[in-house]
Amino acid sequence: MTDSDTPDRSAWAVFWAFLRLGLTSFGGPVAHLAYFREEFVNRRRWLGDQAYADTVALCQFLPGPASSQVGMALGLYRAGYRGAFAAWVGFTLPSAVLLILFAYGVGVYDEALASGALQGLKIAAVAVVAQAVWGMARQLCPDALRVTFMALTAAIVLLLPTAWAQVGCLLLAGVAGVRWLPAGQVGALEPMPQRVGRRAGMVWLALFFVGLLGLPLLALHVSSPALQMADAFYRAGSLVFGGGHVVLPLLQAQLVPTGWVDKDVFLAGYGAAQAVPGPLFTFAAFLGASSLQGPSGWSGGLLALIAIFLPSFLLVAGVLPFWESLRSHARARSALAGVNAAVVGLLLAALYQPVWTSAILGVGHVVLALLAWVALMFWRWPPWLVVLACAVAGGLLW
């Protein structure tokens, strides 16, 4: 039975859906987008492929954690502001709690995730991302021109693996779409649920800039370690393109030399963050809990976590009402058709690096990834079952 058969638009329903993903979504932001597509487009049918791809395209242009922003947008579509909050809490809570426990010295990761099982989880991510690339390519690259956009984007991003190369490819694909994809060729527009008005959107955007500009001034004039921590993590969440791996050097530069977090502790936490599901930005919870100055423990972890994710909500809620209006124009739809093809190219590149290269280390891993992909595509196993099976098989292979 699908969600379309028994619709439930409550925030609780959103929370439980995202909590399950927060417990099982290993593999990084690209894998998270694949899990979201399988769960909310294919299984629950909250929205269609085009609306989902348009949401992913928007979040690729925004600073911050793209997968978490997509999750907030999906919750916002479904149940308004409470839905956005529920989606964030459900997806973030498991990894945040585990990382704060790790900061307290509870060694749950070495015991719970042996090397082989962790390798199996990475292999599951290969199958999930491959399934998403396959499905999105069929939907969003129906002709030779858009397949070319996809292939060129993948090639450029693999040769120039930077966040700016990704944004540049999306912009170029948008320009090419306006030039070579007439509006009549890109299909009918799939409407998105509109939960935020333009006036509210302007308020959220104003609050984003108030935090970005005001927190540093307050931290400079008010001697408060908690305020300084909030400022550091808010700026990290506001200014970083490219996801969790890009934010790590910025956090290290801000926290380690100033004595907020010990260098060895920082590296240990980074290793633990790789072994838990959910968004890598929850590493902030570990850093806040490990702080040597100001708030620490649960209060420090919660403060750092809210500060680093708050800009994402403000940007998503602020931009979505204008995005819906923009994407309805004919030239914008042509541009978006090109951008969506390029987004598939980004996923294709990420399928190879880092998803494939970090997971596939031998013939046995190739066989397991192939079986997992078949289980998803043709046996119609749910992703959580594929993840569990791959973890068990990875442990046995190791």
Is 3 a member of any domain? no
For residue 8, pLDDT over 70 is answered with yes
Supply the pLDDT for residue 242.
57
pLDDT one-digit tens code per residue, 248-282: 667 877 788 888 888 878 877 776 777 788 898 99
For residue 104, pLDDT over 80 is answered with yes
For residue 373, pLDDT over 90 is answered with yes
Share of the chain above pLDDT 70, in %: 91
Domain range enclosing 60: 9-353+362-398
CA 117 – CA 368 distance, rounded (Å)? 12
pLDDT one-digit tens code per residue, 301-340: 999 999 999 999 999 999 999 987 787 787 888 888 898 8
The candidate with the shortest Cα–Cα distance to 395, out of 108, 27, 123, 119, is 119
Average pLDDT over residues 22-48: 89
pLDDT one-digit tens code per residue, 182-220: 766 665 667 777 788 899 999 999 999 999 999 999 988
For residue 14, pLDDT over 60 is answered with yes
The candidate with the shortest Cα–Cα distance to 74, out of 65, 87, 62, is 87
Is 127 a member of any domain? yes
CA 267 – CA 262 distance, rounded (Å)? 9
Share of the chain above pLDDT 90, in %: 41
Query: Which two three-digit tokens encode residue 298?
Result: 């649960």
Average pLDDT over residues 51-77: 91
Query: Which two three-digit tokens encode residue 73?
Result: 């947008």
For residue 112, pLDDT over 50 is answered with no
pLDDT range class, residue 173, cuts 50, 70, 90? very high
pLDDT range class, residue 88, cuts 50, 70, 90? very high
Largest Cα separation within the chain, whole Å, is: 61
Is 199 a member of any domain? yes
Helices 363-377 and 115-140: crossing angle in degrees, nearest 10, is 50
Average pLDDT over residues 224-242: 87
Residues with Cβ < 8 Å from 54, sequence gap 6 or more? 190, 192, 323, 327, 336, 340
Domain total for the chain? 1
Average pLDDT over residues 347-365: 86
Is residue 33 a contact partner of residue 348, using CB atoms and an 8 Å limit? no
CA 167 – CA 254 distance, rounded (Å)? 25
CA 380 – CA 310 distance, rounded (Å)? 36
CA 310 – CA 349 distance, rounded (Å)? 29
Is residue 360 a contact partner of residue 123, using CB atoms and an 8 Å limit? yes
Average pLDDT over residues 3-21: 82
For residue 91, pLDDT over 50 is answered with yes
The answer to which of 29-33, 245-249, 359-363 has the lowest mean pLDDT is 245-249
The alpha carbons of the chain give a radius of gyration, in whole angstroms, of 21
Out of 45-49, 145-149, 237-241, the most confident range is: 145-149
Is 143 a member of any domain? yes
Average pLDDT, the chain: 86
Is residue 314 a contact partner of residue 207, using CB atoms and an 8 Å limit? yes
Average pLDDT over residues 110-114: 47
